[in-house]
Amino acid sequence: MVKNGNTTQWGKTCPESSVIAADIASFCLCRALSQCGNLKIDTHRDHKIMQHLLEKNGFKYCGIINTDDGTERMAYQKEG
């Protein structure tokens, strides 16, 4: 299927790939939480899309952690 911007060659609107990816990520987070009941995730300070996805899915910001190599990450957690 050939896309031209947001429309296929047949004139039908296609969802943006980022919307599909966000839906898949939300499904995966929900599934993982249902299996273990407590998820902790960290992300880079400049990874705004991931931060938004986590907050949208009910994760709470917990603070800054430092990895073994000394870089900082923003920590999030959600309990089921």
CATH number for the domain spanning 13: value is: 3.40.630.30
Average pLDDT over residues 31-59: 95
Residue 12 has pLDDT above 80, yes or no: no
pLDDT at residue 79 in the model: 95
Average pLDDT over residues 56-61: 96
Domain residues for the domain of 69 are 3-79
The angle formed by the CA atoms of residues 52, 58 and 63, to the nearest 5 degrees, is 70
pLDDT at residue 59 in the model: 97
Count of domains forming the chain: 1
pLDDT at residue 2 in the model: 42
CA–CA dist 77, 59 (Å, integer): 5
pLDDT at residue 77 in the model: 98
